[in-house]
Amino acid sequence: MPSDSSVPASTTPVQDYLDRPAPGATPDHLVVPRSLAQSMPLRWQQVFVGLLADLHDAYGHLPWPDYKVVPSRWELLVDLDEEQLAAAGYHADLGAEGQLEYLDADENVVADPERHRVLAPVEDPLPPASAGRVEPRPAAPL
């Protein structure tokens, strides 16, 4: 009789994992910082490269675009500078009564900018690949 461990827990494990909050995951993409991937133990890198090679072999015929990855975070509209506002599709201006107003790309006033969160570009908190090995978090004590 086959053991229960021979039956996969799911037929969509990547989707299952990435549908929950995961660093670098969006509804359509998975971003793996190169500095962290290159810092994995050698065996992990070998497995990872094998998986990437299989992915590229299977789907390399599709018209892959070039991607521009922009480190971003969900921030309150009122906490952004002009550059971040513009990148998120907003700008600030003085209203008719001299108060600061936040407007979206269609020039609609944002009703509650103190509570309105937008995905805004931020400085990348992770080191670039050129920085060398990134030490992982120490293992928890037993």
pLDDT tens column, 50-99: 999 999 999 999 999 999 999 999 999 999 999 999 999 999 999 888 88
Q: Which residue has the higher pLDDT, 9 or 59?
A: 59
C-alpha span between 56 and 59 (Å, rounded): 5
- Per-residue pLDDT, 46: 97
- Per-residue pLDDT, 50: 97
Q: Is 34 left (phi over 0), alpha (psi -120 to 50) or beta?
A: alpha
What amino acid is encoded at 10 in this protein? S
Which pTM value belongs to this model?
0.75
